[in-house]
Amino acid sequence: MIRVLIAEDDRNTLTGLVEILRQEGFEVVGAESGEEALQVLAYRQFDILLTDLRMPDMGGMELYEKAKIQAPQMKTIIMTAFNSVKDAVEAMKGGVYEYLTKPLDLDELFIILKKAVADFELERENEELKHRLQGVYRFENIIGTSKVMQDVFHAIIKVAKSDSTILVRGESGTGKELVARAIHYNSPRMKNSLIEVSCASFPESLLESELFGYEKGAFTGAAGRKVGRFELADNGTIFLDEIGEISGNVQTKLLRVLQEREITRLGGTSAINVNTRVIAATNRNLEEALDDGRFREDLYYRLNVIPITLPPLRDRKEDIPLLLDHFIRKYAKSNNRGPLTIHEDVLNICLEYHWPGNVRELENAMENAIVLGDGDKVLPEHLPVFIKMRKSDAAGDMGMILNAGASFREKLDFAEKLILEDAIRNANGNKSEAAKNLDISVRNMRYKISKYNL
């Protein structure tokens, strides 16, 4: 279904257009201003923007310029009064797809929309052909030519066609959330919602209400009904990240959803059917959690229908040059830098480094190098101090830290990062347990994990 966003300050015109296009089978959202249209674009994707040229807060051309940053693939059609046709023609020279004069001729509108739909189909076919010719699968930042990554890509393509529950496993920073997005957006559910939930970010009571919703009066402060994430993902996909962190009570309720395909809101009495595909992810050893009684065996088997395991970056270092090239291009463009090359020493340092934070740490390192660097080449001095101070595990001793050419603040941060890594490793990836062993709060632990990209 083609998705159309209409920006029109005249409410009657907007309402009429929305109703007519919906009757013709389009998925339509209306906005009464340019600002409102941009807010909608921030959380939804559209194929076509149909906008008035002149609106009080933001004209159609200004909206087009801002919208194409968020959605460069979207085609913009300008609506304008007859005496402003010259402006519309100029707009087409600037990249606008087509224009219409007011009062609108509906036959002309549908001809243009039909043409846009045909162009979309052609572009989609060309894109698929391009991917086949490349011979290398790429899903956003999940990039690699190594055999282990090619196996992951083939698994994504196969499981995307099904409705089976998926369990994505791998260390922090390997891209588990990207795998979930790749599966969803290559599946028959791609036109419906993908709802992402970080289970470790919510306390038990709040996570339950987030997942399943609640009725008015269910608890103190429940002033109205709240629709849960499972309902929001109906006919789409829900991604439950850090599934190994959920409590026993939430595990029980999640098991029922997977078995019965229905949920009950907190404080509610009736069951609500949900057609929601579940993709879960964890960096924990769930088998150990089973042995310790911290994770339900029946839920484990319900989640682990089709497992996909992401390798750590240290086990596929042949992909590092390709990843470096991708991130350098990405952040050079977003920071308005010209084409950049990479110094040979930078590549060697990156190949020697152990990357405990995996691809996420590599991406952050390249963003850091490009934002803080200058010139047309990424040099070793542009890399974060952590990477320069420890090229490999063997170099990570305290004597090396104290003798490194870094500030005392940098040395202290590096030592703290090593201790945090060790604590997480000893807790088998359980960050709550690592925080307890370090005698710090879970909130403080989350802050440090974010700070050091762990």
Contact 176, 309 (CB under 8 A): no
Which of 252, 281, 311 corresponds to the end of one domain? Answer: 311
Whether residue 258 has pLDDT greater than 90: yes
More confident residue, 290 or 427: 290
Is 378 a member of any domain?
Answer: yes
Antiparallel, parallel or unpaired: β 166-169 and 306-309: parallel
pLDDT digits (tens, 9 = 90+) for 352-384: 888 888 999 999 999 989 988 888 899 988 888
Token pair 């010719």 in the structure block, residue: 133
Rounded Cα gap, residues 6 and 8, in angstroms = 6
Rounded Cα gap, residues 357 and 137, in angstroms = 23
Sequence-separated (6 or more) residues with CB below 8 Å from residue 280: 165, 166, 167, 168, 239, 240, 241, 243, 303
pLDDT digits (tens, 9 = 90+) for 106-140: 889 999 998 888 887 777 766 664 454 344 434 65
Q: Domain check: are 121 and 211 in the same one?
A: no
Alpha-helix residue ranges (DSSP H) falling in 242-384 = 248-260, 286-291, 297-303, 320-334, 344-352, 358-372
Q: What is the pLDDT of residue 93?
A: 72
Helix, strand, coil abundance in the chain, percent, nearest 5: 55, 15, 30
Mean pLDDT along residues 287-312: 93
Is 384 a member of any domain?
Answer: yes
DSSP state of 43: T
Is 134 a member of any domain?
Answer: no
Q: For residue 320, give the nearest of 357, 361, 356, 362 by alpha carbon.
A: 362
Share of the chain above pLDDT 90, in %: 41
Whether residue 315 has pLDDT greater than 90: yes
CATH of the domain at 67: 3.40.50.2300
Q: In whole angstroms, how far apart are CA 118 and each of 94, 113, 114, 129, 318?
A: 22, 9, 6, 17, 41
Is 332 a member of any domain?
Answer: yes
Q: Which residues sit opposite 349 in a β-bridge?
A: none
Length of the chain in terms of residues written: 454
100: three-class secondary structure by DSSP: strand
Q: Domain check: are 374 and 303 in the same one?
A: no
What is the count of structural domains for the chain?
A: 3
Is 380 a member of any domain?
Answer: yes
Q: For residue 289, give the nearest of 123, 98, 432 by alpha carbon.
A: 432
Q: Domain check: are 192 and 243 in the same one?
A: yes
Q: Domain check: are 254 and 303 in the same one?
A: yes
Whether residue 335 has pLDDT greater than 60: yes
Whether residue 311 has pLDDT greater than 50: yes
Which of 106, 127, 148 corresponds to the end of one domain? Answer: 127
More confident residue, 166 or 401: 166
* Residue 20: pLDDT band with limits 50, 70, 90: very high
Mean pLDDT along residues 13-33: 92
Is 132 a member of any domain?
Answer: no
Q: What is the pLDDT of residue 102?
A: 83
CATH of the domain at 296: 3.40.50.300
* Residue 423: pLDDT band with limits 50, 70, 90: confident
Which of 311, 344, 369 corresponds to the end of one domain? Answer: 311
Q: Domain check: are 300 and 333 in the same one?
A: no
Domain that holds residue 183: 139-311
68-77, 105-114, 359-368, 428-437: lowest mean pLDDT where? 428-437
What phi, psi does 158 have (nearest 5°)? -70, -50
Q: Domain check: are 65 and 154 in the same one?
A: no
Is 35 a member of any domain?
Answer: yes
Q: For residue 260, give the nearest of 245, 275, 248, 246 by alpha carbon.
A: 275
Q: Domain check: are 290 and 321 in the same one?
A: no
Mean pLDDT along residues 179-203: 90
Mean pLDDT along residues 34-48: 90
Q: What is the pLDDT of residue 225?
A: 87
Whether residue 441 has pLDDT greater than 90: no
CATH of the domain at 400: 1.10.8.60
* Residue 6: pLDDT band with limits 50, 70, 90: very high
Rounded Cα gap, residues 273 and 259, in angstroms = 12
Q: Domain check: are 243 and 95 in the same one?
A: no
More confident residue, 270 or 138: 270
Q: Domain check: are 380 and 435 in the same one?
A: yes
Q: Domain check: are 145 and 256 in the same one?
A: yes
Token pair 């194409």 in the structure block, residue: 68
Contact 277, 236 (CB under 8 A): yes
Token pair 């060697």 in the structure block, residue: 348
* Residue 442: pLDDT band with limits 50, 70, 90: confident
Is 133 a member of any domain?
Answer: no
Q: Domain check: are 95 and 160 in the same one?
A: no
More confident residue, 268 or 93: 268
Q: Domain check: are 100 and 191 in the same one?
A: no
